[in-house]
Amino acid sequence: MKVSLNNPDLFIEKAFINGTWVSADNNATFEVRNPSDNSIIGNVPDMRADETKRAITAAEKAFHSWKKQSAEHRSKLLRKWFDLMIENLDDLGKILTLEQGKPLEEAKGEVLYGASFVEWFAEEAKRIYGDVIPGNTANSRIVVLKQPVGVVGAITPWNFPNAMITRKVGPALAAGCTVVLKPPGLTPYSALALAKLAEMAGFPPGVFNIITTAKSSVVGAELTSSKIVKKISFTGSTEIGKLLIKQCADTVKKVSMELGGNAPFIIFNDADVDKAVEGAIVSKYRNAGQTCVCTNRILVQSGIKDEFLKHYVKAVEKLKVGDGMEENVEIGPLIDQGAIDKVEDLVKDALDNGANLMIGGNKYKADSLYYQPTVICDVTSQMNIADEEIFGPVSTIFEFETEEEAIQIANDTPFGLASYFYGNNMSQIWRVAEALEYGMVGINTGKISTTVAPFGGIKESGTGREGSKYGIDEYVEIKYLNFEI
């Protein structure tokens, strides 16, 4: 590693199955690289179907005893896991920045966000309440129980290699489920560090297992086809999400999918321009634009467009690009060359078809994965960049005249994850909030992610919710008992 850790034991180059740190059966490994300079961080096991089957078997065995533990017992272990995350915040942040590239302070923020889910579900473990329903006859008594689903297969993305794990594993373990996790091959070390802390917290062998692989489709197919695995939780692209849903159909698994987005950010004429600029910067450029909820399309009403653009471009000019380990850096590298190629293609198509470049528009450094913070205006719905998730530090500015037009443009997408708008007319705020076809709506804010609210989308952005009191429902089944007395 290029950075030193307070606890070197958190940097692990083994997978974790049944409480043991293991190599692949054939000792195969694959390289993990730092996107800031393409240097090799290390090597982790390249596992396939056989190792995945053993992890599933270990999780099934552990489930039979884990589900019988009291909610208080599970809660205490989760709380200990949370405490260890906070104690090791600096190291977890460094590991995350090293493999993912986001600025260190932002990485630490993700770790705190991720830990908050473990803390939350440590508390919710004790609140998985059932019901008593009045009987349908004089002699019947009806009781409703909530019981853990069983073994959970979790597949997480590279853009939030810490928080997307805890957002799934926290409620699963709280509910009494056991987990087989497949982290992304690009960012496995954050997952392995979390597993080390879970081991230190005292979770029994087999409760939390991690399979590392460079061949996601093989491991994914094993998880989805297994009759033992009762639920799949996935965060990633809509394309892969659809494939996983199809694969789960044969065994009729419970699924939750947090998929792609195409978030609109609407600014009405009566909006506070300074606050709208601030909110748009936060929403668009966090993690170099590599988030599923970051704004993809900024829609500005004509009466305020020029003023907004003037202030927005100035704010974008101030963003500092560089290695995430450097001080005051706000924009790190994109994750790989494919990400750079996609952004370049989308920007070129927009400019070739009439959009105008306000700032940026190129790599920040030649032969690197850095891309300049970019703003292009006069974008139309006919351009590819209007339909595809950009996943890069590029703002696209659309102009609209009426509220109805803004809603039509905003909803003209198969996606429905996050949306945002700024305005001050309360009647309009209610109308627009209800009309936007999205699972989450930020009103006069560019920040919507929080532990206490249900995170998730509609349409082709997925099913199910993560976080909040609703998040644990994804990991339980409802059973009703009918007593005749």
Asked about 292 being catalytic, the answer comes back as yes
Q: Residue 312 contacts by C-beta under 8 Å, 6 or more apart in sequence?
A: 277, 280, 281, 375, 395
Which residues sit opposite 182 in a β-bridge? 155
Per-residue confidence (pLDDT) for residue 232, from 0 to 100: 98
Torsion sign (Cα): 388, 393, 395, 396: negative
Amino acid at 2: K
Instruction: Return the number of other C-beta atoms located less than 10 Å from residue 459's C-beta.
Output: 16
Q: Kind of pairing, strands 151-155 and 178-182?
A: parallel
Among the listed residues 177, 292, 294, 377, the single catalytic one is: 292
Distance of CA 476 to the CA centre of its chain: 21
What's the average model confidence in pLDDT over 389-415? 98
Show the domains of the chain with their CATH numbers.
8-259+461-484 (3.40.605.10), 263-450 (3.40.309.10)
Cα(406)–Cα(432) distance, integer angstroms: 9
Amino acid at 245: I
Which residues sit opposite 299 in a β-bridge? 266, 398
At residue 39 the predicted structure's pLDDT band, cuts being 50, 70 and 90, is very high
Among the listed residues 99, 110, 119, 258, the single catalytic one is: 258
The answer on pLDDT for 129 being more than 80 is yes
> CA distances (Å), 428 to each of 179, 265, 360, 418, 477, in order?
45, 15, 34, 19, 40
What's the average model confidence in pLDDT over 104-121? 98
Per-residue confidence (pLDDT) for residue 3, from 0 to 100: 77
Per-residue confidence (pLDDT) for residue 310, from 0 to 100: 97
The answer on pLDDT for 179 being more than 90 is yes
- Kindly state the percentage of the chain with pLDDT values over 90: 99
Per-residue confidence (pLDDT) for residue 365, from 0 to 100: 85
pLDDT digits (tens, 9 = 90+) for 247-282: 999 999 999 999 999 999 999 999 999 999 999 999
Amino acid at 216: S
Asked about 248 being catalytic, the answer comes back as no
The answer on pLDDT for 313 being more than 80 is yes
The answer on pLDDT for 314 being more than 70 is yes
Torsion of CA 189, 195, 197, 198, to 10 degrees: 160
Cα(214)–Cα(33) distance, integer angstroms: 13
At residue 1 the predicted structure's pLDDT band, cuts being 50, 70 and 90, is low
Q: How many residues would you count in the chain?
A: 485
The answer on pLDDT for 74 being more than 70 is yes
pLDDT digits (tens, 9 = 90+) for 209-245: 999 999 999 999 999 999 999 999 999 999 999 999 9
Per-residue confidence (pLDDT) for residue 366, from 0 to 100: 84
Per-residue confidence (pLDDT) for residue 367, from 0 to 100: 85
Inter-residue contact 436 to 284 (CB < 8 Å) = no
Per-residue confidence (pLDDT) for residue 211, from 0 to 100: 98
Average pLDDT, the chain: 97
Per-residue confidence (pLDDT) for residue 357, from 0 to 100: 98
Cα(79)–Cα(466) distance, integer angstroms: 19
Q: What are phi and psi of 47, to 5 degrees?
A: -95, 165
Gyration radius of the chain's alpha carbons:
23
Torsion sign (Cα): 244, 249, 255, 259: positive
Q: Global pTM? A: 0.96
Q: Which segments of 149-226 are extended strands (E)?
A: 151-155, 178-182, 208-210
What's the average model confidence in pLDDT over 104-131? 98
What's the average model confidence in pLDDT over 479-483? 97
